[in-house]
Amino acid sequence: MRHCLNLIIEAYMFRRQTQAVGIVALILFVIGCATVPITGRRQLSLLPTSQVLELSFSGYRQMLSESTLSSDKEQVAMVRRVGQRIANASDQFLRDNGMAAEVKNYKWEFNLIEEDSTVNAFCMPGGKVAVYTGILPVTKTETGLAVVMGHEVAHALANHGNERLSQGLMQQLGGVALEVALANKPQQTQSLAMMAYGVGSTVGVMLPYSRTHESEADHIGLILMAKAGYDPREAVPFWERMNNMGGGRPPEFLSTHPAPERRIADIQKELPEALKYYSP
């Protein structure tokens, strides 16, 4: 998901780079908060849903046009079967919790991309999902795949795309305001201040929010997969397998994801809640 959200953000920022005044007006006009389903966390949601969906669907089409779709009928069928069960659970959750009007925003689509070197999957805003073949050896089973699909669909259900775009706009707006405030200062002072702002806002705000999104998607994903009839306890061995793949990792405060040990511990704490929704 992170890669494709970056595509959306880049497209959006490119359109707005020279329109600082327009950004301010947009934020003042649409500024507001939303609530994340299941967790109840209040989140920043500045952009119209229609605009986020337009960017998402366009980015997804572009990504598919540049990718090779898998011709393995059995694997493709499994991805679509698991995805649809998770999507049905997501839609039903929205209906059961007084958010039936939001169901229309999800145009579910599931594709398997032939790329064995990429251990990844994502769900873009509006329910556009892609799974890379490289993650299937790690998921191992249909239930393992449901762990991944539940997590990715949870990002869409929690409206993380809009929130991340909104945070990016606020970060950009803060930079514009700082530039204006320092306009009469020496160039070296301006450069140092902008550098400090960039590092501070990224490490102090953007990265912690990114880790919050990942943890939140783990939590919501457990419940979605349980409601879809998949055993949420399989999330622990899946993330242990992901952790055992190794590779260098930055310190948690510099990472977009929680530390693996923390992630697994949090999932174990959340399993009793998820199991209430599980019926084999």
C-alpha 225: how far from chain center:
17
Structure tokens at 223: 């419940």
Distance CA(43)–CA(151), nearest Å, equals: 18
Backbone torsions φ then ψ of 122, nearest 5 degrees = -155, 160
Is residue 87 a contact partner of residue 153, using CB atoms and an 8 Å limit? yes
User: What radius of gyration, in Å, describes the C-alpha atoms of the chain?
Assistant: 20
Q: Which residues are catalytic?
A: 152
Distance CA(274)–CA(155), nearest Å, equals: 17
The β-bridge partners of 121 are: 131
Q: Is 263 exposed, middle or buried (0-12, 13-18, 19+ CB in 10 A)?
A: buried
